[in-house]
Structure 1
């Protein structure tokens, strides 16, 4: 029974890695679509979110079955419960990626944000792709050192997020109302995507070290 249980835990990890990989593909397409006004990539990212949702539901059902049948305790229980919370964050990351792609589709053939902010969003998009890649590696290897790197990259996203708000609130801002709304929404989507990655990284770090890091992201 113990061998079967370990196989089931390994399957949970494999499924988390697969969902994270798909989220990484999604955010790469969404941010590129956003920055390049590529409606085809936007449509791809939007349509692929159903697969992320489907895999998340299947993983949650597996984790609940394990809880009911195996009744794990101590660290094994924390692993299964953490998997449920991690899958929820990954599903939300997929949704946020879809929101970014939807903005690109809605504004096509125009760019979503004014020219003055395109460099900022280009940087944020590149950071999200990097964070997502590292998150998949973290879930694969359980290398807790990656968790701190992800947190550092999130700090960069936060700084860029604040710079967007500074720009749209400045007296020199001359964007239309739609530009203001789209810019602030898009920035928030980028920032929350990174926050969820940090939340997942913290959970993996806790499982590996037993030390819980306090959150400053508002995402648990």
Structure 2
């Protein structure tokens, strides 16, 4: 029975690695679409979200079968249940990337952001691109050190997010009212991508170690 459980969990792990790669590609593609603006990149993200949804469904089905047939306990149960939550987190990240792409498609050929916002959003996207790459490494190696980097660095994105409000309210703002709405929404989508990246990282740390760190890895209190 143990051999069967390990084999089935390996398949789940493979699907989770594929999800991480698909989410990483969606985040990168959404940034390319936004900062272009690039309609082809936006459409690719929108269409690619179906792959992420299908992978989530596959993971859920496999985990439910494992719970039903194998009756896992202790560490095995922690891994299966946490994997379910991790799959849901990745699916939501795919949705957020799709929302960004849809905003680009909706406003095209006009850019959703005015020129004065480009540098700030480039900084936010650079951060998310790095996080996306880390997600892939984290899932492939179950690397808690990479996970902790994702958790700790999230404060940088929070500060950039705050700057988007400062820009919208400053005298430098020259964009339209629609662009102001898009700026607020897009910044929120990007900030939430960072938050979900932290959630995914915390979940991996929990799967590997049994601890659930907050943004301070020394603090093991669950802040869900």
Distance between the aligned counterparts of 1:11 and 1:200, measured in 2?
A: 19
Runs (5+) with no aligned partner, structure 2 = 217-221
* TM-score, with length taken from structure 2: 0.93
**2:39 corresponds to:** 39
**What CA deviation, in whole Å up to 9, does each residue of 1:89-119 have, x standing for no partner?**
0000000000111111111112211111101
Distance between the aligned counterparts of 2:174 and 2:10, measured in 1?
A: 54
Alpha carbons of structure 1 residues 64 and 215: separation in structure 2 relative to 1, 3 Å: farther
**What CA deviation, in whole Å up to 9, does each residue of 1:142-199 have, x standing for no partner?**
1101112112332221111110011112355343211111000000000101111110
Runs (5+) with no aligned partner, structure 1 = none
**What CA deviation, in whole Å up to 9, does each residue of 1:5-28 have, x standing for no partner?**
011111111111101101111111
* Conserved 8 A contact 2:34-2:100: yes
C-alpha deviation, 1:219, in angstroms: 8.4
* Conserved 8 A contact 1:205-1:211: yes
Root-mean-square deviation over aligned CA pairs: 1.7
Distance between the aligned counterparts of 1:56 and 1:185, measured in 2?
A: 26
Distance between the aligned counterparts of 2:161 and 2:223, measured in 1?
A: 16
* Conserved 8 A contact 1:127-1:153: no
* Conserved 8 A contact 1:199-1:219: no
* TM-score, with length taken from structure 1: 0.94
C-alpha deviation, 1:55, in angstroms: 1.1
Q: Does 1:142 pair with 2:142?
A: yes
Give the total of aligned pairs.
Answer: 219
Q: Does 1:178 pair with 2:178?
A: yes
Distance between the aligned counterparts of 1:122 and 1:172, measured in 2?
A: 18
